[in-house]
Structure formats: C-alpha cells, structure tokens
Amino acid sequence: YTISLGSAEEMAESVRKAAGRPLLKVKLGGPGGDLERIRAIRAAAPEASVIADANEGWTSANLREHLHACAEARFSLIEQPVPAADDECLRALGAPAVALCADESVHDRVSLQRLQGLYQFVNIKLDKTGGLTEALAMAREAERLGFGIMVGCMVGTSLAMAPALMLSP
C-alpha cells in the first residue's frame, strides 16, 4: 500500500490509518523534510514493514544521513535514493544498512550489469521493459547476477498488473 508524499504530519496520519496492511511503501524525496517524515512514519506505525521510495530525490551530500535515518527507523528497503545519472556515488557506501533497489536506473537486461555493487534489488516494471517477454528474461538475469526482485508498475490498473504475477515466483 503506497503512501503519497506530503508533510511529516500528513504522512504520519496516512500511515496510522494503513498500519494494519502487510507492507507500506512511503514516497520520499520531496523538497526538505525527509528526515522528519522518516521519524514521523515510524512513530505512527512502530511495527509496520516499511519501504521507502525516494524517487531520485536524495543527493550524494545528504545520502548517508538519509540512509542512517531509514536504518534507525527499521525500513526494509529504499528504492532509487539518488538520480539514475548519479548512482555511482552508491559504490562508496559499501554494504548499506538498508537494502537499495534500482528503479529509474534499470530498464532491461542490458542495464543490470552496471548496477552490480550499487543495488541489492531491482524493480521490474512491465511498462519499462517493454512487456512480459523482456521482464521474464530480465528477472532470470537479475537472479543470476544476485539481485533480489521487486515487481512494480507505472500507475497501472490491476488488469495491467496481472501479467506481472508471472514474475513473482
């Protein structure tokens, strides 16, 4: 269940209402305030399983501080913390305290090799890969290279997402 980007207070209220769901995905990366959002989200749902989607909103200058806050808040995963063009800065982190997932940085099998050592997971979206055939091939290659897999969509309907269920095994 996805919580939209908003003020720390707005997001905390949305998280509180959805705290019973098995997994919450919170959008981050807005202008200022992510540290407050992270703390408010965890306070609002202390037991929830939470992943963050920073939507390329962090920079090499604030990355460590944001990753530390997510680790302290026991987030499970952080999706695309920095712009795809800048993700080489992730190499200097070593093993991050919270797993990182490529989204805008990954489009097809060809893009996987470059991401080794930067991300631990990749988000496979049928919309980005061009369809189910490439998505299935990408999933096999990602697993071969040691990546975990997240299956996502580009604001698709449940009908558009149905074929992606084939990626879940």
For residue 121, give the 3-state DSSP assignment. Answer: strand
Q: In the numeric block, which tokens belong to residue 105?
A: 């940085």
Task: Report which DSSP code applies to 32.
Answer: S
C-alpha–C-alpha distance, residues 93 and 118, integer Å: 9
Tell me how far CA of residue 27 lies from CA of 74, 112, 116, 169, in angstroms: 16, 24, 24, 26
Confidence grade of residue 61 (pLDDT, cut at 50, 70, 90): very high
pLDDT in tens, 77-126: 999 999 999 999 999 988 888 999 999 999 999 999 999 999 999 999 98
Taking the model in full, what pTM does it have?
Answer: 0.92
Burial (CB < 10 A; 0-12, 13-18, 19+), residue 112, is: buried
Confidence grade of residue 6 (pLDDT, cut at 50, 70, 90): very high
Contact (Cβ atoms closer than 8 angstroms) between residue 55 and residue 84: no
Residue 169 has pLDDT above 80, yes or no: no
Confidence grade of residue 167 (pLDDT, cut at 50, 70, 90): confident
pLDDT in tens, 62-78: 999 999 999 999 999 99
Looking up tokens 């269920």 gives 165
